[in-house]
Structure 1
Amino acid sequence: MCARWEHQTALKGDVLYVDGGLETIYDGNERWTDEFYLGLNYYLLGVNMSGSWDWETNISISIWNKSASTPSPPTSLRGHLFQGLPEDPKIYLYGGADFSSNSSRHNYSSPNAGVLWSYDTVERSDWAAIDISNASPWQPTRGAHAEASDLGLAFYLNGEAGDVESIAVWGNLSTLVAHLEGMIVLDTANTTGRTAWNISTEAMTGGTPRSGAGMAYVPEMGESGALVLVGGIAREPLITDDPASGELINLSQIQIWDVSSWLSSPDKNGTWYTQTATGTVPALRTDFCLVAATAADGSSHNIYLYGGRNPKSGTIYDDVYALSLPSFTWTRLFEGQSPRWGHTCHLVPNSTQLVTLGGALDLERATCDWEWRGVAALDVWSVTWNSVFDAGARPYKVTQGVAEVVGGGDAGGATLTAPAGGWETEALAGLFERRGSSSSTSTGTAAAGSGSGSKGSSTGAIVGGVVGGIAGAVLVALAVMRLWVRSRISRGAS
C-alpha cells in the first residue's frame, strides 16, 4: 500500500479496526518510483492496541478476508464503523459509497441501501446483514457520525449518496451525488425490537444538508450526553456534479443536539442548539477528524480537530485545534507541513494518546504516505507527534495549551466556564450543569499510590475499598442508565 483514505474505523477493546477505503498501490518493488494505481481495501484490518508499539519497527496488524463471509459485506468508502456496547462483541458497519469501477475484483460486494452490517469480533464468523430499509432508504457517505457506546446508540447525520463511477472530481467520490437530509439513529443493542430511526435535521440545517462535517459525542453533557457538530459544507438536497457547490460552514458556529430530548420523545426530532465559539477559529474545511475528552473534574470538555481540506480552494491542512466547552473557545495547538484529509482518528479512553489512521496527502494519486503503515500517534497533553503509541500514557490530561486559555491544569479546574459573548439560550447552558463526581468517569480515574509498613497496607485496603465501591456504583449507574434509555425508546417505538 502507498496510501489509504476515505476508510472507516472503530476502536473496540484492544483492537483498532480499519475497514474499506481507497488505496493507491505501487505496482512493483520500488515504493517511491514504480507506477501507482487506484484500488480498494477489500479487507478488515486490526491494529493491536493492547500494548505500546512503534509503527516503524514493531506494530502488529491483523487481516481478515471479508469476501469469505456469506453473506459478503460491502467494500465501501466513508461510511462508518461503530463499536457497539462495551460488552457487545460485535462491530457495526453502516453506509459508505460504492466504487463500481472495481466491481470485478476480489469478489467485490456493492454496498446495499437499507442494511446495517455486524461482525462478531470474538467468534470471527460470517458477517450478518440487518434490514433497516424503513429508516435508511439511501446508502449515505461523507456524513457526520458519532456514537454513544455507553447507551448502545449510534448516529449518522446527512451526507451524500451516489455510485463512485469516477474519481475525476477528486475527493467528492463521484461526479454525480445527491445530498441527504436527516440523521439516522441506530440502536445497536436492539433491545426494543427496532434498530433504526430517521429523524429530521431541517430545524438545524435550514434545508441545506451537510457533508464532510465532524461530530463528537460528549457523555457528560445533559442527562444522556450530547452531540457536538462542526464544519462541513452545506448544499441544497439536489443532485449535483460540482464538489465545491454549496457553502462551507464557519467553524465558529457550533451545533449541539441533546440526546435526552430525543430519548424522551423518539417519535420526534430532538432539540438542536447553536452557540457561537470564539478564540482562534479553524479555517473553513471538510474531511477532518474529530474526537472528544472530558477533564477529570468535569470542568471542561475538549474536542480535538485534526487536518482536513477546503474543497473550494484546494487547500489541505496540517493542524490541530481544540474546542473547549462550556467556554466555546477554540485554541490552535499545532501547525505543521504534512497536510492530510480523508483520515480518521481515535483518542484512546482514559489516555492522552490520539491515534490517526491514513489520509490523503494531496489531490494527486501518486503520493505515498510517509507514515507508511498508515498510523501515527499524537500525545494531546504535550501536543507531540510520534511513531510510538504509548499504552501507559494515562490518565487523560487537559492539553497544556488549552489550560493556558481556559484556566486550571492537567486534571481540570477550568475557570472560563461560559461563552465570551454569553449564552445564546439558557437551555443550552443547562446542559453543562455538573452531574456530580460521575462526570469524570469516562475519561479520568485517580491512581492510588502504595505506602510502606502497616499504615501503607491499611491505607491500601481503605483506598481499594473506596475505589471498588466507586467502581461498583459506576457500573450500577451505567446499568440503570441503559435500562432507562431502553424504556424511553420502547415507549416511543410503541
Structure 2
Amino acid sequence: MATENIVLLTLALLVDLSIQQQKDPLQDFCRRFGQQTAVIDRNLYIDGGLVNYNPLTQNPRNYSNPNLLYADLDVNNNGMPQEYDNLTKPADAPDVSGGVLWADTVNKMLYLYGGEFTQGSPQSFSGWAYDAIYNRWNIIKADPSQGQIQRASYGGGIAVQDGATGYYYGGWLSNASVPGWGSNRPMALSSFLEYDMLQNTWSNSSGPDSTGRAEGVMVYIPASDRGMLVYFGGVQTPYTNNTIIGQDMDDILLYDIGNDKWYFQKATGQIPENRRRFCAGVTWAQDLSSYNIYLYGGLAATAGNAFDDVYILSLPSFTWIKWYPTTPGADYPHHSMTCNVIDGAQMIIMGGTFPNSTACDIPTNYGMHNLDLGQQNSQKAKWFIFRPNITTYQVPSAIISAIGGSATGGASVRAPSHGFDNPDLQTYFQRTYLPPARSPTRAIPTSTSASSSSASSKSNSTSVGAIVGAVIGGVVGALLIAGIIYYCVSSRKRKKRNTAAKEQQEMAMKPDSVDVAMGP
C-alpha cells in the first residue's frame, strides 16, 4: 500500500509539473496568493506563492509558483505597472508561500526567509538571496548563528534599511515548513528573529511574551531613537493550551529597536473584526506627526469568512478608522494578498484568493489593485489607477477628522484617548528618527533596472560588443520594414489605444467589481 501511495503521489507531481510547464504565468494568469513581494528601485518583485490558471473552472488546483516575476513601476499596463516573467530562478531555490523577501535596497539584494512548501517535502533550512543587479540566485553560506534557525511561515516580516536588518516575529512551524515534523500539530512561535544582511548573522530571541502568534502583520515606523516595529492582528495560541484564537485588533504590539524592548498598547476607534492573512502598509505625515497604517482584507480569525475593507490605524493616537467601504454594496472578500507602499503615497495590493467567487482576479493586470493613500486624484477616489509620479503623501480627510491637523501633518491628537499603557511610549513617540545614509558594500553599476538588463547581460555571458553589433545590424533592416508596417497600421492602433484608455478610465470609477484594476 505504501508503494502504491508513493507511485500515485509521484504521478500526481508529474502531472502537476506537466501542467505548470504548459501554462504561461502571465498569459494564463487567473489568481495569485500567498506570495512574497518587495521593492528595489522601481521594480516590484513577486516570488513564490500559489497560482490559479485561467479558466478557473478547468484549472481548479492551486499550483505552486516556481517563478520570480517583477512589475516595472514606470511602465503602464492598463492603469497598473507592467509585469514581466523573464527573471531566472533555479529549480533548487525554494518555491514557498507565506514567507518574506527582505530587501537590501542599497546593495540591490533580496533575502528569502520562511514559507511553506506546497509540493513535495520541505527542504532543510538554508539561506537564499537574489541579486537584482545580475539576475542571479545564490545559496548563502551558513553562518554558525544559523544553526538553531528553522523555517517558519506566515509570520510578521519586515526589512529595516538603515541597519540592513530583517525582522520576523512569530509564524508557524509545521510539516509544510520543517523536515521531519511528521504528524505533529502546527505550532505558533513566540520568538523574534533578526537577520543581519551584511554580516550574514542570525539572532533568535524571545518576543513580548510566551504566547505564540501567526498570520499577523508587522511594519516599521521612524519613531523613537532608532525606529519601532508595530505588530497586530492574526491568531494566537496561548501557552497553556493549543487552542487557536484571534488576536484582538485593539491589541497592538510594539518593539523599540534602539532599546530592544517590547510594549503593548490598546487602540480605540472603529476597531476591525479579528482577522488573519490580511496585508498592510504604512506611511506618515510629512512632519511625522502621525504614522498611518492602511490594512486591507483578510480572513476571519476563527471562521471561514473573509473581508473586503480598508481600515487605518493612526499612531501615536492609536485610533482605528474605517476607510472603505463607507456605504453598503457588492463586495469581493479575499485574503492572502500582499501590500507594498510606493513612495509613501500609493499602495499596490497584489493578489489574494476569493473564497466566495470563482472569478479571476483581473488577468489583464495580473491581480494588482491600487490604493491612493492620500486620495490625490481629481475624483478624490480611494481606489485609483497607479501613477508613478505621485511621490509625496497627503493625510486624507478621514484621518484629519480623527486626529486634527492638515494634509501635511500638524496632528493635534498625539496620544491615545485613555493615555499610553506604558510611560516609555509617550517619551518614544515624542522623538522622530532620521535614518543615516548607508553606503553599498559592493560595486553598484549605474543602471540596475531589471527590465533593461534581465534579458541581456544578466542571464547570459554574451559579450557587449557582439550584442551591440547584432543590434545595429538588425535595426537597420528592421527600420525599413517597420516604416512600411507603421504607415499601414498606426492609425488603427491609435484608435484602439484611445478606446482602451477611455474604457480603463471609466473602470477606475467602479470599485465594485473583482475585474476592475483599481478596485478590490
- Residue 43 of structure 2 aligns to which amino acid in structure 1? V
Partner of 1:78: 98
SS of aligned partner of 1:428: helix
**Percent same amino acid at aligned positions?**
27
CA deviations over 1:24-58 (Å, ceiling 9, x no partner): 224xxxx25434222111010110013444357x7
The 3 A distance-change label for structure 1 pair 316 and 22 is same
> Which amino acid is the alignment partner of residue 295 of structure 2?
L
Question: Which TM-score applies when normalising by structure 2?
Answer: 0.71
Residue in 1 that maps onto 2:346: 353
Residue correspondence of structure 1 range 139-218 to structure 2 within 5 A? 139-164=151-176, 176-190=185-199, 195-201=201-207, 204-205=208-209, 207-218=210-221
Instruction: Write the distance in 2 (CA, Å) between the matches of 1:285 and 1:412.
Output: 30
For structure 2, the 5+ residue unaligned runs are 1-28, 178-182, 442-520
Q: Kindly provide the amino acid, as one letter, of the partner of residue 212 in structure 1.
A: E
Task: For structure 1, list consecutive stretches of 5 or more residues without a partner in the other structure.
Answer: 104-109, 166-173, 262-269, 442-473, 483-494
Determine whether 1:94 maps to 2:116: no
Change (3 A) 1:408 1:51: farther
Cα distance change, pair 163–369 in 1 and its aligned pair in 2 (3 A) = farther
CA–CA distance in structure 1, aligned partners of residues 127 and 356 of structure 2: 31
What's 2:320 paired with? 330
Three-state SS of the structure 2 residue aligned to 1:45 is strand
Q: SS at the partner of 2:402? A: helix
Counterpart CA distance in 1 for 2:234 and 2:265 is 16
Which position in structure 2 is the counterpart of 1:13? Answer: 41
**Structure 2 match to 1:416:** 413
Q: Does 1:274 align with 2:264?
A: yes
Answer whether contact 2:52 2:59 (CA < 8 A) is retained.
Answer: no
> Secondary structure of the residue that 1:429 maps to in structure 2?
helix
Residue 504 of structure 2 is matched in structure 1 by none
Partners of 1:235 and 1:424 lie apart in 2 by 23
1:84-483 alignment runs, 5 A limit:
84=104, 86-101=105-120, 110-113=122-125, 115-131=126-142, 134-135=145-146, 136-164=148-176, 176-190=185-199, 195-201=201-207, 204-205=208-209, 207-218=210-221, 220-236=222-238, 245-261=243-259, 270-335=260-325, 337-350=331-344, 352-362=345-355, 367-370=359-362, 373-382=366-375, 384=381, 386=383, 388-435=385-432, 477-479=436-438
Distance in structure 2 (CA, Å) of the matches to 1:419 and 1:139: 37
User: How many angstroms apart in 1 are the aligned matches of 2:303 and 2:381?
Assistant: 29
Q: 1:260 is paired with a residue of what secondary structure?
A: coil
C-alpha displacement of 1:343: 0.3
C-alpha distance in 2, partners of 1:148/1:33?
42
Per-residue CA shift, 1:220-260, capped at 9, x if unaligned?
211110000111111147997xxxx4121111111110000
Bigger CA radius of gyration = 2
Q: 1:196 to 1:238 in 2, by over 3 A?
A: farther
Q: Distance in 2 between matches of 1:238 and 1:144?
A: 23
Q: How does 1:49-88 map to 2 (within 5 A)?
A: 49-54=73-78, 59-67=82-90, 72-84=92-104, 86-88=105-107
* C-alpha RMSD of the superposition: 2.6
SS of structure 2 residue aligned to 1:83? strand
Partners of 2:239 and 2:153 in 1: CA distance: 14
Q: Is the 8 A contact 1:287 1:309 kept in 2?
A: yes
For 2:84 and 2:355, how far apart are their aligned partners in 1?
26
Could you report, residue by residue, the CA deviation over 1:355-401 in whole angstroms, capped at 9, with x for unpaired residues? 0111111178x553246512111101127355621011231111221
Q: 1:7 and 1:333 mapped to 2: Cα distance? A: 25
1:395 and 1:274 mapped to 2: Cα distance?
Answer: 31
